[in-house]
């Protein structure tokens, strides 16, 4: 059997870090300080410095990061929050968890990010916030969203779950909006060995509120100023993330190497390779192609023990959980992209010869099913 190629190879990443990871894990076990300790404080400081933000507040997941940001800003029942229909479910779930209503807008067919030209029409007197997602690691049209938020007095919450280290004109994703929300789920560009998340903000008042909200509404043990959540980053995750944060620029550069190798080898085939907007640094959380024979392509890859994934098969306005939402338009771009998208293996350690093998399979599959003149 040929050697399988996974979507993500965390074994390779951890092997390369070697004893560094083992040592910090052992130190946390030795300390018996497991929740909100010195590693969380240090990681928050180091992440804030790396991202160029004033405050970073660790929490339990990326979904919680979004929920905590909305809750801190007072977004709740009766409010509408505009976001993209083409993203991971958690983006919109967080809106519902604070009692607000998601309003889905269609995407740009090239970047798969929120189509800002369509957002204005979705703004109503109830709109409280916009959540653009920097999907697959590519910065959303942040200038357009910022202008809209200013014009209408709306909160800007960036979903940076897939874009740690992505940037635009010298500013990192998570430093543009009122809040930046990150996930450290193991497969993200910066991932822990379990769940984790973080909110960034430049507001001292919001940072203070977030620190209470993530910890049962409390700043001082057994004094509770408000109803909060149990959503904390643990010391083991923070210690591991501190090690990986030191390598994030190299990881992202290697992801860009993999992407440009794919780009070069896939040229001329009847499929659409990822579009990179000229402005901004794409950090390729995913390398996602479009093909009108996506399912045949996926079957050929799997047949050769090469993993692939569909991000995402169902746009959010077609999810059962949102069946009750009224007045959602047809959102044709989200729908057609969801039918054609296919993500290929993408991780910093993916060797060139594996990329070549993946492309060979795609080439023979493409030639099988579509004879070209």
Which residues of this protein are in contact with ligand PLP, per CB under 6 A? 61-63, 87-88, 90-91, 133, 159, 161-162, 183, 185, 195, 197
- Residue identified by tokens 């970073």 is 56
Beta carbon of residue 370, minimum distance to ligand PLP (angstroms, whole number): 32
- Confirm if 199 and 68 have CB atoms less than 8 A apart: yes
DSSP state of 138: P
Q: CB of 54 within 8 A of CB of 47? A: no
**Residue 284 DSSP one-character state:** -
256 within 8 A of 287, measured Cβ to Cβ = no
Strand intervals (E) in 189-280:
197-201, 218-220, 223-224
Find the shortest distance in angstroms from Cβ 54 to ligand PLP. Answer: 23
Report the residue number, 89 or 277, with the smaller CB distance to ligand PLP. 89
CB 42 within 8 A of CB 238: yes
- Taking the complex as a whole, the smallest distance from the CB of residue 205 to ligand PLP amounts, in Å, to 25
Cβ closest to ligand PLP, residue 261 vs residue 285: 285
- Spatial neighbors of 170 by CB under 8 A, at least 6 apart, are none
The token pair at 156 is 């800007």
Tell the smallest beta-carbon distance from residue 161 to ligand PLP (Å): 3
Of the pair 44, 159, the CB lying nearest ligand PLP is at 159
C-alpha closest to that of 148 among 106, 117, 169, 109: 117
Which residue, 101 or 286, has its beta carbon nearer to ligand PLP?
A: 286
State the nearest-atom distance from the C-beta of 153 to ligand PLP, in Å: 25
CA nearest neighbour of 308 among 319, 299, 317: 299
Task: Output phi, psi for 263, to 5 deg.
Answer: -50, -50
Q: Which residue is nearest to ligand PLP (CB)?
A: 62
Which one, 161 or 341, has the nearer CB to ligand PLP? Answer: 161
Considering the complex, what minimum distance in angstroms separates the CB of residue 356 from ligand PLP?
28
- Minimum distance, C-beta of residue 60 to ligand PLP, in the bound complex (Å): 8
Cis before 312? omega within 30: yes
Structure token digits, residue 63? 């979904």
Residue entry with tokens 């889905």: 104
Closest CB to ligand PLP among 87 and 365?
87
- Token pair of 152 as six digits: 């209408």
Q: In the complex with ligand PLP, which residue's Cβ is closer, 64 or 80? A: 64
Residue 88 beta carbon to ligand PLP: minimum distance, rounded to whole angstroms:
4
Is the Cβ of residue 192 or residue 361 nearer to ligand PLP in the bound state? 192
């Amino acid at each position: 059997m040929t050697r399988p190629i996974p979507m993500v190879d965390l074994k390779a990443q951890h092997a390369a870090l070697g004893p560094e990871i083992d040592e910090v894990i052992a130190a946390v076990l030795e300390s018996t300080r497991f929740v909100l300790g010195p590693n969380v404080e240090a990681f928050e400081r180091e992440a804030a410095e790396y991202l160029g933000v004033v405050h970073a507040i660790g929490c339990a997941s990326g979904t919680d990061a979004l929920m905590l940001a909305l809750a801190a800003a007072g977004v709740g029942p009766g409010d509408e929050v505009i976001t993209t229909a083409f993203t991971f479910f958690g983006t919109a779930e967080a809106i519902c968890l604070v009692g607000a209503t998601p309003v889905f807008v269609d995407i740009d067919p090239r970047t798969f990010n929120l189509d800002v030209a369509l957002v204005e029409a979705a703004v109503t007197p109830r709109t409280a916030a916009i959540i653009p997602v920097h999907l697959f690691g590519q910065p959303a049209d942040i200038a357009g969203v910022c202008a809209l938020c200013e014009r209408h007095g709306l909160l800007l919450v960036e979903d940076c779950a897939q874009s740690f280290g992505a940037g635009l004109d010298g500013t990192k994703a998570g430093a543009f909006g009122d809040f930046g929300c990150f996930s450290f789920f193991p497969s993200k560009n910066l991932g822990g060995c379990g769940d984790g998340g973080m909110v960034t903000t430049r507001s001292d008042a919001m940072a203070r509120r977030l620190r209470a909200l993530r910890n049962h509404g409390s700043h001082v043990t057994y004094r509770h100023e408000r109803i909060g959540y149990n959503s904390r980053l643990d010391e083991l995750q923070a210690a591991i993330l501190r090690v990986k944060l030191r390598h994030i620029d190299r990881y992202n550069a290697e992801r860009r190497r993999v992407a440009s190798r794919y780009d070069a080898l896939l040229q001329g085939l009847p499929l659409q390779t990822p579009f990179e907007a000229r402005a901004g640094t794409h950090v390729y959380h995913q390398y996602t192609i479009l093909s009108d024979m996506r399912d045949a392509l996926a079957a050929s890859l799997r047949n050769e023990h090469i993993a692939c994934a569909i991000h995402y098969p169902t746009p959010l306005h077609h999810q059962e959980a949102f069946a009750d939402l009224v007045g959602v338009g047809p959102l044709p771009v989200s729908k057609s992209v969801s039918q054609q998208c296919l993500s290929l293996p993408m991780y910093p350690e993916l060797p060139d010869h594996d990329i070549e093998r993946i492309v060979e399979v795609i080439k023979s599959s493409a030639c099988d099913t579509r004879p070209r003149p």
